[in-house]
Amino acid sequence: MILPRIDIDLRKIAHNVQQLKKLYGSKGINIIGVTKVVGGNPIIADVLVKNGIEILADSRISNIIKMRKAGIRAQYLLLRIPALSEAEEVIIHTHISLNSELAVLKKLSEYASRNHIVHKVVLMVELGDLREGIMPSEINTHVKEVLNLEGLALVGIGTNLACFGGISPDAHKMNELSSIVERLEEKFKITLAMVSGGNSANYNWFTSSKDAGRINSLRLGESIFLGREALCRKPIPGLFTDIFTLMAEVIEAKIKPSQPYGEVYQNANGDVPNFKNKGLMNRAVLAIGIQDIIVSGIVPKQNVAILGSSSDHIVIDNTRASLKVGDAVAFDLNYIALLRAFSTPHITKNTIDIYECASIL
């Protein structure tokens, strides 16, 4: 198979989904499967749906279109608050969207009415992370307006923390969200069916709370695919953290000096590098680079060390592994490296079938 390539163990994804559903389900929380980190890969989305995920969420409409075209049947939720310019696409291709701007909601309403569709809306509340969300003091006026917009159904309230400002979705923040929901329900005589408390960073709050209050929904990507919570990036007990493996090929392996020689200026990244002289070194060049992957987000599984990278190459210290041309190096990936790997066509996506895996085990 052509390298570089990312191996994807579908059986482990199925396991993580089942475990997370059981865990969060024990306190009444439903899981929305977030597919953006795998670029809306339909084979992976299919595993989520077959293991009981009813709502698939992505930040990009193009990923949602890809999954729908592939026949993956689910409710599709748009994670990134819609741009005014994409309002029509949101109505046509998605069932639910997260929102914080009245101008956009009015456009969504217009297109929904025109298409005789009822589009579901979740209003996002700002609780301190300072990315998307309506300030709590302004939520009443927004709800009032949305309830009067034709073609839109206000189905819930949500918040997003730990993404921009690194703010913890702790008990204090989640209680605040629950009280906002209760205040709104009372004031407007409505029921908010979905209270979407956050993402993979909500794990610590969840495990340390007796009950989840009004929170009944979380949008999970990292926990499903990397088996980790997203505040400290600790593994979640019982989950696989090694679902994805990146494989890159050695295209040169030679003994060379360890220190570049000649006059030192900027390299391809605009840095002036500073390498220590460690004498002669077994070095290897891999056919993968910054164009394909976030190099700081990958960790070799073999005994090699990354020395540096440019647009199409990674150079490694090959002293211990003694890899030869044609050998492959395996890497673990973090969330952003995975995100990048799935958004380039230059990395082959190798899904290892559930039945193939079963026969290996």
Ligand X SMILES: *Cc1c(COP(=O)(O)O)cnc(C)c1O
SS3 233: coil
Distance from chain centroid for Cα 193: 24
Q: What is the DSSP pairing of strand 298-300 with strand 328-333?
A: antiparallel
Q: What is the DSSP pairing of strand 30-34 with strand 55-58?
A: parallel
Cα(56)–Cα(348) distance, rounded to whole angstroms? 23
Please state the closest distance from residue 158 (CB atom) to ligand X, in A: 8
Closest C-alpha to 24, from 241, 230, 243, 236 = 236
In the DSSP assignment, the letter for residue 27 is T
Choosing from 8, 14, 34, 239, the residue that interacts with ligand X (CB under 6 A) is 34
Catalytic residue among 12, 21, 36, 120: 36
Q: Is 69 a catalytic residue?
A: no
Cα(289)–Cα(273) distance, rounded to whole angstroms? 17
Cα(91)–Cα(143) distance, rounded to whole angstroms? 20
Over the window 74 to 113, marking each residue x when it contacts ligand X by CB under 6 A and - when it does not, the resulting string is -----x----------------------------------
Structure tokens at 55: 């709502």
Please state the closest distance from residue 283 (CB atom) to ligand X, in A: 36
Cα(111)–Cα(116) distance, rounded to whole angstroms? 8
- What pairs with residue 286 in β-bridges? 250, 314
- Closer to ligand X at the Cβ: 222 or 249? 222
Please state the closest distance from residue 185 (CB atom) to ligand X, in A: 23
Looking at this protein, which amino acid is placed at residue 15?
H
Please state the closest distance from residue 198 (CB atom) to ligand X, in A: 7
- Closer to ligand X at the Cβ: 3 or 230? 230
Cα(196)–Cα(312) distance, rounded to whole angstroms? 41
Residue 160 sits in the site that holds ligand X (CB under 6 A)? yes
- Closer to ligand X at the Cβ: 58 or 249? 58
Choosing from 94, 199, 217, 282, the residue that interacts with ligand X (CB under 6 A) is 199
> Which position's Cβ is nearest ligand X?
221
Residue 155 sits in the site that holds ligand X (CB under 6 A)? no
Please state the closest distance from residue 238 (CB atom) to ligand X, in A: 17
- Closer to ligand X at the Cβ: 162 or 314? 162
- What pairs with residue 349 in β-bridges? 6
Looking at this protein, which amino acid is placed at residue 172?
H
Choosing from 36, 107, 142, 340, the residue that interacts with ligand X (CB under 6 A) is 36
Window 262 to 321, contacts with ligand X (CB under 6 A): none
- Closer to ligand X at the Cβ: 225 or 331? 225
Residue 164 burial (C-beta neighbours within 10 Å; 0-12, 13-18, 19+): exposed
Site size for ligand X (CB under 6 A): 13
Please state the closest distance from residue 230 (CB atom) to ligand X, in A: 4
Residue 340 sits in the site that holds ligand X (CB under 6 A)? no
Cα(89)–Cα(65) distance, rounded to whole angstroms? 10
Residue 133 sits in the site that holds ligand X (CB under 6 A)? no
Residue 48 sits in the site that holds ligand X (CB under 6 A)? no
Choosing from 16, 94, 168, 200, the residue that interacts with ligand X (CB under 6 A) is 200
* Cβ atoms < 10 Å from Cβ of 329: 25
- Closer to ligand X at the Cβ: 91 or 201? 201
Please state the closest distance from residue 309 (CB atom) to ligand X, in A: 25
Cα(19)–Cα(225) distance, rounded to whole angstroms? 12
Window 208 to 237, contacts with ligand X (CB under 6 A): 219-223, 230
- Closer to ligand X at the Cβ: 15 or 36? 36
SS3 357: helix
Task: List residues with catalytic annotation.
Answer: 36
* Chain residues in the site for ligand X (CB under 6 A): 34, 36, 59, 79, 160, 199-200, 219-223, 230
